[in-house]
Structure 1
Amino acid sequence: MMTVLVVAALAAMIASFAWSRRQLDPRRPAALAAIALRCAGFGVLIFIVLQPARLPSPQTVTTRRVLAVLVDQSASMSTGGAGATRLDRARAMVRDHRVVEQVSEVAEIAIYGFDADLIPIDPAALDALEPAGRRTDLASSIERAVRRHRGSDLAGLLILSDGRHTEGAEPRDAARRLKTPLFTAAVTDPALPDAPVDAPRDLALTSVTAEPRLVLGQSARIVCAVESLGYPPRQVAVTLHREGRTVATTAVALSAQQPKRPALLVVTPDRVGSHRYEARIAPEPDETDPTNNVAEITIDVVDPVNRLLYVDRLRFERRFLKPVIAGRRNLRYAAVVPLDGQRNLVQGDDEALRAVAADLTPDGLRQVKAMILGDLPASAFDPEQIAAIRDWVGSGGALMILGGPQSLGADGFIEALGTLIPVTLDRPAPYVEAPSRVRLTPAGAAHPAFQRVSKQWESAAPLLSRFGAQGVRAAATVLLETTEPVVAPLVVSRRAGHGKAAIVLTDSTWRWQLGHDRAGPGAAGGADTPHAVFWQQMIDWLLPDIDQTDDEGGQVQLLTDRTTYEVRDAIEVVVNVRGADGSAAKGADVRLTIASPDGRPIERTAEPAGGDDPTYRATFDAAYAGAYAIQATASVAGRPIGVDRIVVNAVQPLVEFTRTEPDPQLMKDLALLSGGKYLEPSDLDDLVRLARLEPREVVIQPNADHDAVPVWNRWWLLALFVAIMTAEWVVRKRNQWV
């Protein structure tokens, strides 16, 4: 279009000369002036029409170069030797040679994890990288990294990989085609030492736990945590000793999948006192540390006499509660009323317990099975006695706290007993005086303290007061609550260590002594009133269950030799069945239910392994890829023993796992074909020089499309054109030319 305009302008100028030639005589000065002015005007017009522009001078700038670091995160990097995976060694190369720090001082660095994809990662997150990629595509990863930095001064790619390429185009072709240097470092496995070094092997008793306090006649269930390191799957025998005699024996099944299991030992002490037991594992000849094969535990055994200590001030609540306690035939008690800082009123039918009530020492509290703390300030006890009570509950004692203006007041037990109290309270707890109806919660309906009157609480006489709680502590259970004027917890219980604790958030349970508002059982006062039944059964709950049996099920331990299989593998399941006493269960019925990935259930019956092996075994095939949820249920003579569950996975066979040997030659070829360099780990210390990462000066040439500066759109050019044409017009006007 521009050429057409220029040609048209020239044609117009030639036509103008041809038309005016008849009038202009070139020999006359005026004619020469008119011709010159006309030529000048056309020249200016053509200059404007051509729209000329000028380019600025080239610029020289200093740029920071970019290095992209690619770290292989495919599954083959999970293999290795000397206690570290290949990915661990790749991370160590970056960390030990300060790759990030030295590059960041002079250039930009970008780190990527790659397998079949290229994933940017923060340098700080390099330790979180997992070798989970199912395929490795080196060619695609290199090309993607170069494309990501197109437009920047990319100095090259640093590739840390084992060179195991399993998918995609040939990486060597990509290295030839790209004009970007590749600096490669092969991550290989360390050479085996001349003398083999065995991995650490150890069997350990990491912990031994049991109820620290038992009543004579009860069985102690001692749980030993047994751990195996470096050994193949095996049965490990655990024995329990006392005074040089073996008193119990059991075994636990350990493998690489389940390296830590509990072993159950049951023993019944035969006398009152402190019993020290020693659990042992026979040391192996090649065991690294046989000193952790022994662990001790001490259990206190108390006599079966039920002793209850009740401490309260003289008040209406005590007047009705003490006769309930005194009326229990299977209970010995002491009731203490502090009179002043020095004297106590002590009542009861147990001389030893009355002596304990005087000082509440830890040794004395061992004779006490349950304690009821009434409306007293915490200052009624010294700090040593408060600490003794806390320890006593943690070791198996049972504590009931009764609400009252002093016990829950500013100087009450709220701070002194702390988390032993099943609810959180303000200090002091707000005292609400209002008639309150009560009802059982679902948990309370199943509680021993409410069984005989579980359906009559709505008709019980309303209470006169209650104490407001902020909330219920974790693991605590609300048994009884008020329904009017508001719903609020009234009786709350919880486990506290090996013991138990409860609180009654009212000081008017004596109202239940009046019976029920409507006619029915216990309508009149007496032994069957809600008050008597509640406190009788609450005391039964506080006292230990002397008739404990060992019928508490057993142990079922489900094992496989690993957690991940390939499709079409046969998965063998091993089930270790132990009775309640820790001994091997013979004649057990062991059923397996397997939920397969396709939703089809698989049923198997585990058969005894035979011989000296007490385990049960079954096998099934992994037909599909995915998770297999395995549940084992065992019973003996129809009596359930226990249940165990595990999950294993089946995956399609992976080249990453079938061909894991490193390929350092490929890494060397990529460096050679791309103009880069193959690096030994020590070369990384000099990476800035080798990769030429120092900032460099770049001459930027101006671009005609973006940087050109127009020179035709000036105001003075237009003024010049107007002046020339005006002068030409004046010349023609004076000479009367057309």
Structure 2
Amino acid sequence: MNLGADIGQVVFAPLIPWPVLWVAAGVAVLAVALALWRGLSGWWLRGLTAAVLLLALANPSIQTEDRAPLSDIVLLVTDHSSSQKIGDRPAQTAAAEAQIKAELKDLPNTEVREVSVGDAPGDGGTLMMGALSDALAEEPRARVAGAILITDGQIDDMAQAPDVPAPVNVLLTGHRDDWDRRLIVKDAPAYAIMGEPVKLTLEVADQGAVPASAGKTATLEISVDGGKTQSVRVPVGKPLDLPVTLPHGGMNVLQFNVPAQKGELTDRNNAAVVQINGVRDRLRVLLVSGEPHAGERVWRNLLKSDPSVDLVHFTILRPPEKQDGVPVSELSLIAFPTRELFVEKIKDFDLIIFDRYRRRGILPSAYLQNVKDYVENGGAVLVSAGPEFGSVDSLWRSPLGSILPVVPTSQVLVGGFKPEITKLGDRHPVTEGLAAFGPKPKPGEKGPGWGRWFRQVEVKNRGGQVLMTGYDHDPLLILKREGKGRVALLASDEAWLWSRGYEGGGPQLELLRRLAHWLMKEPELEEEALTATSEGATIKIVRRSLSEGHDRVTITGPDGKLYHAPLTETEPGRFTGSWTAPGLGLYRLEEGGKKAVVAVGPSAPKEFEETIATPAKLQPLLAVHRGGAHRVEDGIPGIRRVAAGRAASGRGWIGITPRHAYVTRDLRVSPFLPAWAFLALAAFFALGAWLREGRRR
């Protein structure tokens, strides 16, 4: 055990300023030189006299330090990121770490500071240089004798490499003959228009010591929302433009996978997940108003206010049977293109609205049959009914009647009433939470604070979903799925009272907007749906349903393992839950026949972009600090002590530089000679010079 040592040195504290002392020394040298030139035999004694006097003016002292040596510090930084968990790298890392610590422990006066580096948050990769900088900042630089990095070389912050005041060496895990195949998503849009192909750019790339058996082509497997898988052969090492047409609106989860090859380093980067939100290009709506009325403008304003809606609106101002002698050329600016709209282009519309329409011979039964077929094949029809719906020329008495959700009684109910949301309506996305819109109820008033309506057609429900009731609790808003399409009926034509603010008004705009978007199958308004989104490793689950009893969802992980997540009904018809995924990948969720998929983590994690162990990224750092890279598979090198500035790496060894740092425990200062001793010496040499020169004469 080194307890310390006493180190002495001479220090000066001149009695006069140094410049003056140097001038005096110069004058003394000139005087001695003059004595020598004149041939005085005591010139050298004169010089000794001047030297003693100058030394006395310099005031020399002996300073003695009691020094305690400090140990050298070696930084051992170990990479424990995801790429270090491939193959036998964990075993290599553990063996190298254990042996290096054992050798450093055997070195005298040496300490080890261990630093562990994992995956950076937010898919930041391996930030080893940042960890090295932090460790270096916590230690005195004068004691750092070296840094040893155990890693696969895939460092993502080399630009942040610190200036280490000692050698840096690397122990490289992995093997020279490693090879890997990965799938790269080079370009993928976040949004795409439904029904139109969108281009994705993919590439299958090989890296490392690729064997000939790997081949020049690979099989690419493609699935959407975890459905049926399709396979295509693609070239390896060349970008591929892949056209994809989204099957539905909302979030589409596309999974691409390349089967693992024999001897491949890992298959974790063989799959990629792309999430694309499907949106409609333009929503085409056909609005047919049977006659001018106060509520006609409501529908037009609603649909025209949405920039994504293309509206075609026709109003029948004059029935064909009216004979008043007005010239035909003055009756209309545009003829009603019935054949073009209801035969040739009916499939181009996303929604058809009949606003107080009655049968007057303008649309033949064959055209209304086309509308019925249009609904059954996936279209949508909304009927805004007035008193004409209960008359003899009602739409219910046309081919459309068989798909309408109600039967009219021919009665028109007149009297003030406030629309009310049914229990089913509280759970349905079209009307859920609608009470929060519009005016608040007055003190003591039950239900929403909406204004009243005054007219409603009496209807009887037949298989539809009654979301709102009106006069005497008769059905007011009824929805129904018919075939592949949807039908809705509003049994009153007085929604416009809300838009005018009568008695405070009501949520007319919000109600009609939701109703139109439900009919056009917007995903966020589906009453039976299971959706999931991920935030980091947390999956947030929302199950919408009109029924009860949805208490848990089944989750299938990327490895096929089953999990269960509890659900809680937070609002009527809305069951939510949160579940933490154990790892990255694609998770499939199922509950009550509804399925959803969600990707946890990035499409291609940075840790698996480059998996081949290589010291290439670290070579500039090693060159500056005279270190080297040694593969663990070749044997773990020994540790030597080398002098500063010498090479710190060789065959089978790495070096650290002893810093010889110390701390001063005591400091003592004593005069070199007493003042009288300097005076006596000066007098002695001066007397000697006088005697020598006087005797010579």
Q: TM-score band, normalised by the shorter chain? A: 0.3 to 0.5
TM-score of the pair, normalised by structure 2? 0.34
Q: Could you tell me the TM-score, scaled by structure 1's length?
A: 0.33
